[in-house]
Structure 1
Amino acid sequence: MNATQLLIRYGFKASDVNGKFNGQPSHAGKLLNQTLVNIGATIDELGFVSEQSWAAALKTASSQVDRCGGECLVNPVEHELPLADIDLSMRGICQWMNALGMYTIHSCDGHGRRTPTVGTLTRLTRKQIELLRMIAPEGMAIRPREKAIEFDCGDRKELLLQLAERLYEIHLNPCSLSRYEAEQFKHRLIEWLSVPGESGKEAQIRQLLRGRLRSIADDLFVDRAGNLCAAIYCGEGPTVLLSAHMDIYQELENDRCIIQEGTILRSSNGILGADDRAGIAVIMEVADNIHQLQFNGTLKIAFTVEEEIGLVGSQKLDRYFLADVDAAIVVDRRGTRDIVTSCRGVIPFCSEEYGMLFEKAGRLADMNDWKVTAGGSSDAKILAQSFGIPSVNLSAGYMNEHTEWETVDYVAAYETSRLIKSFLNQQLSTAIKTGGRDNLLPD
C-alpha cells in the first residue's frame, strides 16, 4: 500500500504535515506528525510502513495530542474535524464526507456489536445518498436514516477504509464519478441482456419495460402493433422522442453466460443481444434521471417490435402519439461516438444543423469525438421518411451484431446516455422548438 492510500484511508493528506487552521498548526497536522514520530518515519518513508503498524501508531498518537472535546461538540462547517476523537476506521469516511459537503456530527464503527453509523448535521439529499450507494464497495449496504447513514458491512472494516478512498477520489476529481456511474449502468445493462425476445416474441421484454416505466411515465400504452409508447412531462418546451427496438436478431442460448473482459461484455455462447438491449439500457438510464436534468418539454419513448425483420414496428407506430414530436433520437448504431444522420449518405434523416447539436452536446460533456456520419438502415429512417420527424441514430457501444462474436462496451453505452443527457440538460433541444421541426428536416 502506498503512502497516499495510508493517509487517505484515515482522513489525512500529505499537506497536513504543515497544515494550518486559523493561522495555527492544525489538529490533523499535529496528529499526523505525532504518528510519524511514533512510527519513526518521515512522510516520504510512509510507503514502506505496514498498515497494521501505521494504525497502531495512529491510535497511540490520538491519546497524545490535544483533544477537541468530542465529535459532537464541533461544528464541522466552522471548525476542523476532531480526528483523534473518531474511531480509526471511520476517520476517512467522516473527513471526506465533510469535504464533499455531507457534514457529520458523530460517528461509530459499531465496535463489532452494531452497524457502523455516521450522524449528519442535516438530512442528506437524495443525490448525496445516491452518490454513497454508487461508490460503496461490494459487500457494503448504505442505509439512510433521518439524520444518519448506516454503513452495513458486517465485520469487514476494510470496506469502511475502501469507501474513504473512494470518497476522497470524488472530492479530488469529481469527473471520476462517471466511472462509478458506468459500473452501476453495467449491472442494469446485464439485466436487459438477460431477457430473451426475438422478432415477434417481444412480450417478456415489453412486460418488464412496462413495469419499469409505470412509476416514471405520465402516459403509457401498447399500440396495435405491439410497440410500447410512453410520455414523461417535464414542463413547457419541445417534445423529444427516444427510440430503440425490443427484438433481438435470434433467441439467446439457454446455457449462455455473460463474460466481462475489461469494459467489454460478450456471450459465452451465441449472440449477446446488445443489438438493441444496449439501446434500451441507454434510454432507461435517461428516463430514470430526466427529472434531475434542466430539461423543459416532453420526453416520449417508443420501444418498437420486429425491427430486425424489416423495421416493421416503427412503420406501424401510433401516428397520434408521434403527432407532436419535434425531433427523435434512436439508439441503435454499432460502435462508439457516431451520430448517424443518413442512410449511407443517400437517404438523409435530418438537417446538418440537427446532427451538429449532438456534436455540441458531446463537447459540453467533455466528449469531443462524437461526430456526424452516415450509417445504415434503422428506425431513424422510418421516423424521418414516414413521419417527417428529424432523427439521428446514436452509437450504442455494440460491435459484431448478429454473430457469436457480438460484444458491447458498457462504458461506451453509458457515455451515449451522457450525450443524450447533455443534449437535454443544456437546453439544446430548445433549438428544435425555436427553429421549428421543418428546419431540422433535410432539404
Structure 2
Amino acid sequence: MKTWNQLFIRQGFMLEEKSPNEFICANERKENAEFLLKRLDMANVDYTFCDDVLTIASPPISEKQWLEAVEFYQRGVWEAIGVAEPKVFELDTYMSGVIRELNRLGLRTVSCCDGHDQRRPYVSFDGQTNMEKVMQLFHALQVHVRLRPSRFPEVVFLTKRERLLDLAEQMRKVQIDWLEQGEAYIRKMLFLYELEELLGVSGESGNEHHIRSVVYEKLEPYVDHITIDRYGNLLAQKTYKSGNGPTILLNAHLDTVESFAPGRTIVKQGAIWSSSEGILGADDRAGVAVLLEIAKWLEASSFNGTVKFVFTVEEECGLVGASKLSEYFLWGVDAAIVVDRRGTGDIVTSCGTTQPFCDIRYGQFFEQVAYDAGLTGWKCTAGGSSDTRIWAQHGIQSVNLSVGYECEHTDDETLDIDACYETVRLIQAVFTHSRELSKTLRDVRMANREVVTVTWM
C-alpha cells in the first residue's frame, strides 16, 4: 500500500510532507491544490484544509482507487504545449508526475502522452533543453528510453505506462545540482538515498515484517513473480530476454541482530556511516540495497538469463530462513551470489577450512572480472557462516561478497558507502560477462564429472 505522500508524488503534486497525514501546500499552484482537494472529495477522503495545510484523517487508499479519482474524460488533451509550468490536470494521468519532475529539474517539456495503453509513452522537450542531461538522467534512473532528435526532441519510453508512476517517485529524489555531475554520480546518489531509507527500517530476527514489506514494494516492479513463503522469506524471479543464459541466485538477509534504537540518526563522516546509538544495521541492509540496485539495473542491461532473488529471514539466529527454503525454488540455479560479508574486497569461497562454497574457478572468475573492470583488491578468501553455506549444501556454486560494513553486531558498526557501491559495480560486471560465467560453470561441471568418473572406476 502506498502512503499518501507516494500517491501525491506519483501524480505530480508538489507538497511538503510534515507527517504521514499532514502536508504543506504553500509551494503548490492554486489550481493544482484545488484539483487535489476535488479529487480527495471524489475518493471520499476525510480531510481538512486550512492556511495551506492539508491534514488527512483517512488511511491511504489503494493506487487503483486514487487513479480512478484523478482521472476524468479527456484529461490531458491540451498537452500543455508551450506552458512553462503545466498544471496537473492538463497532463495525462500516468505522465503528470514525470512531467512535473522534469520541469522541477529545469528540463523544460512542451508536450507529452502516456500512450493510453495503445502506443509508447513520450515526452517532447523545448528546443533549448539540454538533451544530454535528459538522457543522462533517464539512464541513471535505469529506464529504457529512445531519443528522437527534432526541433522539439522527443523521448520515447520503451516501457509500460504504469512504470511511469514509479519513475516519477524515483525522480523526486533527484536534486538539481546532481545533473551537473553526470550519469554515474546520479546513479550513486540514488543508490545512497535508498540505502539510507533501508537503514531507517528496523527489523530484528523474527520481526522482519516491516522491512519485508518495504523490500517487496521496491522489488515488485522489476520482477516477473514475487511471493513470501510460509517461513517469511521473500522470493522473486525475473527472466531477461530469451532466458537462454545462466540462472543466478542473488541473496541477502532481511533481519538484523537486534532492533534499531528509537530516534537514532545516521552519522555521516565522509564515506563512513555509523549510528548515533546502537547498531547501524548495515549487516545486512547494505546487501539488501545492493540487490535492489541490481534488480533495477538488470532491466535495461544486456543480460540474457534468469535471476532468482532470495531475501531471507532469521539469518542472524542460525540461517533459519535459508535452511527452510523450499528446495523447488533452487531447481535450475547455476550459481549463487550472496552479499553479506564484512570489509572490502573479499570473495568468500569457503566457511573456514571445513566447507567449500564453490570450485575455486568460480571464485577466480570474480577476481578476473573485478580486475578487468578496474576494481582493485578483490580476492578469494575463507570466511564465516552465512546463507552461502545453505546454497553450497545444495550443490550450487556460491560466493559471499564484501559489502563494506565493519564491527557488525556492535554499537561501533560502520559502513564504507564507497565500498558498498563498488560491490554493485562488481555484480554488474559479472552479469555483463555472463557468457564467460556460463563457460566457467561448464568447465567446473565437466571437471566434477571427470572426478566422479575416475573415483567410480
Shared fold by TM > 0.5? Answer: yes
1:137-188 superposed Cα distances (whole Å, 9 cap, x missing partner): xxxxxxxx97379xxxxxxxxx98x678635xxxxxxxxx544432221111
**Is 2:257 aligned against 1:273?**
no
Instruction: Tell me the C-alpha RMSD between the 2 structures.
Output: 3.0
Paired residues of 1:354 and 1:440 also in contact (CA < 8 A): no
Tell me what 1:12 maps to: none
Structure 1 letter corresponding to 2:429: S
Residue in structure 2 matched with residue 400 of structure 1 by the alignment: 407
Match of 1:185, SS state, is helix
Query: Does the CA contact (< 8 Å) of 1:230 and 1:302 recur in 2?
Result: yes
Q: Distance in 2 between matches of 1:407 and 1:217?
A: 31
Structure 1: distance between partners of 2:332 and 2:255: 26
The 1:324/1:268 distance shift into structure 2, 3 A limit, reads same
Q: State the partner residue of 2:292.
A: 284
Is 1:420 paired with 2:427? yes
- Does 1:329 pair with 2:337? yes
Equivalent residue number for residue 183 of structure 1:
189
| Partner of residue 307, structure 1 | 315
Number of residue equivalences: 299
The SS at the match of 2:222 is coil
How far the C-alpha of 1:354 sits from its partner, in A, is: 0.2
The correspondence for 2:200, drawn from 174, 183, 194, is 194
Q: Distance in 1 between matches of 2:267 and 2:259?
A: 18
Q: Cα 1:368–1:434, aligned 2, differ >3 Å: closer, same or farther?
A: same
Taking the TM superposition and a 5 Å limit, the aligned residue runs for 1:135-150 are 147=153
Structure-2 separation of matches of 1:233 and 1:227: 20
CA 1:439–1:270 in structure 2 vs 1: closer, same or farther (change >3 Å)?
farther
Aligned partners of 2:213, 2:107: CA distance in 1, in Å?
A: 43
Q: What's the offset of the Cα at 1:250?
A: 0.2
Displacement of 1:317 in angstroms is 1.0
Pairwise CA distance, 1:124: 7.1
Instruction: Name the CA distance, whole Å, in 2 between partners of 1:163 and 1:250.
Output: 35
Q: 1:425 to 1:411 in 2, by over 3 A?
A: same
Unaligned runs of 5+ in 1: 1-107, 111-116, 135-144, 150-158, 168-176
The amino acid across from 1:391 in the alignment is: S
Question: 1:164 and 1:180, CA in 2 relative to 1: closer, same or farther beyond 3 A?
Answer: closer
Q: Is the 8 A contact 1:342 1:374 kept in 2?
A: yes
Relative distance call for 1:372 and 1:127 in structure 2 (3 A) is: farther
> Cα gap change, 1:440/1:227 in structure 2, threshold over 3 Å: closer, same or farther?
farther
Is 1:351 the counterpart of 2:359? The answer is yes
More helix as a share of residues:
1
- 1:236 and 2:244 correspond: yes
Question: Structure 1 counterpart of 2:210, which letter?
Answer: Q
**Residues 118 and 148 in structure 1, CA contact (< 8 A), matched pair in contact too:** no
What's the counterpart of residue 10 of structure 1? Answer: none
> Is the Cα contact below 8 Å between 2:248 and 2:308 reproduced in 1?
yes
Structure 2 counterpart of 1:266, which letter?
S
1:218 is aligned to 2:224: yes
CA contact (8 A) 2:303 2:432 kept: yes
What is the aligned-residue identity percentage?
45
Point out where structure 2 has 5 or more consecutive residues left out of the alignment: 1-105, 109-124, 143-150, 156-174, 452-457
Per-residue deviation, 1:355? 0.2
Between the aligned partners of 2:107 and 2:256, the Cα distance in structure 1 is: 49
Which residue in 1 is equivalent to 2:396?
389
Rg larger in 1 or in 2? 1
Distance 1:367 1:257 in 2: 31
- Inter-partner Cα distance in structure 1 for 2:274 and 2:136: 33
For residues 148 and 198 of structure 1, do their structure 2 counterparts lie closer, same or farther at Cα, with a shift above 3 Å needed? Answer: same
**Rounded Cα–Cα distance in structure 1 between residues aligned with 2:359 and 2:107:** 59
Matched, 1:253 2:266: no
Partners of 1:308 and 1:163 lie apart in 2 by 37
Distance across 1 between alignment mates of 2:129 and 2:282: 45
Contact conserved, 1:327 with 1:437, CA < 8 A, in 2? Answer: no
The answer to whether the Cα contact below 8 Å between 2:361 and 2:444 also exists between their aligned partners in 1 is: no
Quickly say closer, same or farther: Cα 1:126–1:298, change in 2 above 3 A. farther
Secondary structure class of the residue paired with 1:255: coil
Task: Tell me which residue corresponds to 1:166.
Answer: 181
Shift of 1:434: 3.3
Q: 2:279 is matched by which residue type in structure 1?
A: I
Partner Cα distance (1:211, 1:202) in 2: 14
CA distance in 2, matches of 1:381, 1:347: 8
**Contact preservation (8 Å) 2:140, 2:186:** no
